[in-house]
Chains A and B, each alone.
Chain A
């Protein structure tokens, strides 16, 4: 009954990860050669594994590997304007047998083009376009190209309180415009309510280097599946369809500041909700309640 033909696909290929890290390192060193206080670089990388969870209505259990690497160089071009240029690779790999209308891979390879701008005495606005390929990578064509756009404004009320108002625009999604509101409130020396999407958290500073947190994580995107995805899985109407993928995680973790510029993060919890929404075909494939573990590294130079 269980067809494991996709298993090899679902595992993250270590060689790809290493190659990616080397490429990112090369980009970083090129940027650093020009470095000054005007140039900054951010590298965010994470990997997680979520255990098996039953897909509703099929009885099939699916596990998940996911990884995300984002590298951005920011350059201050005027007193109020910083340009941001970079790249992001994000991949969700699902251990799914044949015949189940769940893609084995959803992947994003995109550029990051944007800016940060001081729009008022206490406002900073970020605009970011991420043109790239958002696909299951079964057959990549021009229709896999997308360019989601993020616009966010942060109101810096004081050093302890900041408000965020934002929206994400993705013309291919079922919900092309998604608004968001967030707040960061350091309400005591050790406690911070960092309710900023996509990772709202309650943080506790154990000491200068270690922080504990509980919170949620939202991940996903809008992707196009291959021309034969539906046919190969017994549901032809899903061929070449758009899928809105979303997952919500709830967990606890620990951040360790190794140096002032490098942080490691370990997190575990439950993947509370996962939804493959083929909205044009009116098909949802949902699953709940898998345990997950995640490692992440955040660096800025």
Chain B
């Protein structure tokens, strides 16, 4: 089922959702695998995590998390939109940098690929070899011939950010260096198509981000960012945009990685944030698309999902720790 074909459903869905908007726990239980959501326990620091349902989309997996914090919903939404994982060494994020609405090359000054560390050497090696990275053919050729690999990456990333800021999702170039063209936007939409119930729940923020079809009166202006982290022992660069909308009493945040340098294609993290007695309830959904998942089935896929949940739980604990710090 394609998201475009769901357009007529939105009014019905919004009516349905608004009728049950006062029951965040019921919504989480209905749409997630969590059998019990006890807000009182969540407010003491418990984090619920669960593998998502098995997708028909062969490149995709998902996970869900639920937690609560003693802050207002608006404050939680604001701080989740631009949350930086960089202060937590266990998350292996070297740089997280918020970008201005008009990106400049200087915004990438923290990127230095002259390190002798193996993960960085891997990225540099792949850049020179023109293989194994998410690049268009033109980008791969230009980067490989670049005299300075760091400068080449900075130029390429800045160009991708500018194209996205000016043209939106249509400005995202496909990945072609691996042989076949893969569009990260198509991967994102395929993830959402596969998880149609979740896409419907997050329709307000997804529509305002432009990921779902349909005209929007006032598109949301995202927080743009780039980051540099280690994934699977490989230095990885990504570009993201985090959208935030208020829908009645609840908030929604969609954090979309619209470019990733390698190892996986794209990821989107969705947050639904409700005020509850004693604080704020947060339901987090992670959708993730990677090329190797197409060939990862059975117990290997199960193990992959278990590890994904484990890492998200670790990240969520860091997030909660930061949310507890007054700003």
Interface residues, chain A, with chain B CB atoms under 8 Å away: 36-40, 42, 74, 76, 79, 82, 116, 118, 121-122, 124, 126, 154, 156, 158-159, 162, 186, 188-189, 208, 260-261, 300-301
Interface centre among B57, B297, B310 (most CB of A within 10 A): B297
Question: Could you say which of A38, A116, A189 contacts B119, with CB atoms under 8 Å apart?
Answer: A189
Beta-carbon contacts under 8 Å, B268-301 to A: 292, 294-295, 297-301
Known: A37-B301, A300-B297. 6 other contacts (CB 8 A): A74-B297, A79-B51, A118-B306, A122-B310, A156-B303, A188-B233
User: Which of A37, A76, A158, A162 counts the most chain B CB atoms within 10 A?
Assistant: A37
A111 to B33 CA separation, bound complex (whole angstroms): 34
A83 to B57, CA, bound (A): 21
Q: Does B19 contact A (CB under 8 A)?
A: no
Q: Are A116 and B306 in contact (CB under 8 A)?
A: no
Which residues of the other chain, B, contact A74 by a CB distance below 8 angstroms? 297-299
Does B247 interact with chain A (Cβ within 8 Å)? no
- Quick one: closest A residue to B119, CB to CB? A189
User: Taking the complex as formed, is B54 at the interface, i.e. its CB lies under 8 A from any CB of chain A?
Assistant: yes
Partner of B299, one of A39, A79, A116, A301: A116
By the criterion CB–CB under 8 Å, are A37 and B58 in contact?
A: yes
Chain B residues positioned under 8 Å from A159 (CB to CB):
232, 307, 311
Q: Is the pair A300, B306 in contact by a Cβ cutoff of 8 Å?
A: no
Number of A-B contacts (CB under 8 A): 73
Task: Report whether A158 and B119 are in contact in the complex, using a CB–CB cutoff of 8 Å.
Answer: no
| Residue B309 interfacial (CB < 8 Å) | yes
In the bound assembly, the distance between CA atoms of A209 and B129 in angstroms comes to: 15
Q: Are B233 and A189 in contact (CB under 8 A)?
A: yes
CB-defined A-B contacts under 8 Å, sample of 5: A74-B297, A79-B54, A116-B302, A118-B51, A158-B307
Cα distance, A261 to B300, chains bound together (Å): 12
Q: Which B residue sits closest to A81, measured CB to CB? A: B302
Chain A residues lying within 8 Å of B302, measured Cβ to Cβ, are 76, 82, 116, 118, 124
B310 pairs with A300, CB closer than 8 A: no
A74 nearest in chain B by CB position: B298
Closest A residue to B232 using CB positions: A159
Determine if B49 is an interface residue (Cβ-Cβ < 8 Å).
yes
A260 CA to B33 CA in the complex, in Å?
A: 31
Q: How far is the CA of A53 from the CA of B112 in the complex (A)?
A: 59
A79 to B307, CA, bound (A): 15
Please give me the residue from chain B that is nearest to A154 by CB atom.
B303
Q: Which residues of A contact B51 (CB under 8 A)?
A: 79, 118
Majority DSSP secondary structure for residues of A touching B: strand
Residues of A within 8 A of B56 (CB): 36-37
Distance between Cα atoms of A162 and B303 in the complex (Å): 10
Beta-carbon nearest neighbor of B233 in chain A:
A189
Q: Which residues of A contact B57 (CB under 8 A)?
A: 37
User: Closest Cβ of chain B: how far from A27's Cβ, in Å?
Assistant: 16
Could you say which residues of chain A place their CB within 8 Å of the CB of B306? 118, 121-122, 124, 156
Residue from B132, B232, B234, B297 within 8 A of A37 (CB atoms): B297
Which A residues are in CB contact (< 8 Å) with B299? Answer: 74, 82, 116, 124, 126
- Given contacts A156-B306, A159-B232, A208-B132, is CB(A260)–CB(B301) below 8 Å? no
Pick the contact of B298: A40, A79, A186 (CB < 8 A): A40
B310 near A121 (CB under 8 angstroms)?
A: yes
Closest B residue to A123 by beta carbon equals B306
**Chain A, Cβ-Cβ closest to B314:** A158
Residues of B within 8 A of A118 (CB): 51, 302, 306
| B186: interface (CB < 8 Å) | no
Min CB distance, A63 to chain B, in Å? 36
A39–B297 CA distance with the chains assembled, in angstroms? 7
Q: Which residues of A contact B294 (CB under 8 A)?
A: 260
Q: Are B118 and A82 in contact (CB under 8 A)?
A: no
> What separation, in Å, do the CA atoms of A162 and B306 have in the docked complex?
12
Min Cβ gap B68→A in Å is 19
B54 and A37 contacting across the interface, CB-CB below 8 Å: yes
> Quick one: which of A37, A122, A124 contacts B55, CB cutoff 8 A?
A37
A116 with B233: in contact, given A37-B55, A76-B54 (CB under 8 Å)?
no
Instruction: Report how far A116 CA is from B33 CA in the complex, Å.
Output: 19
- Nearest to B299 among chain A residues (CB) is A116
Interface: B122 (CB within 8 A): yes
* B214 proximal to A (CB < 8 A): no
Residues of A within 8 Å of B301, CB to CB, are 37, 40
Distance, CA A164 to CA B233, complexed state (A): 23
Interface membership of B53, Cβ < 8 A: yes
From residue A17, how far is it (CB to closest CB) to chain B in Å?
A: 26
A301 to B298, CA, bound (A): 10
Q: A37-B54, A121-B49 are in contact. Are A156 and B310 (CB under 8 A)?
A: yes
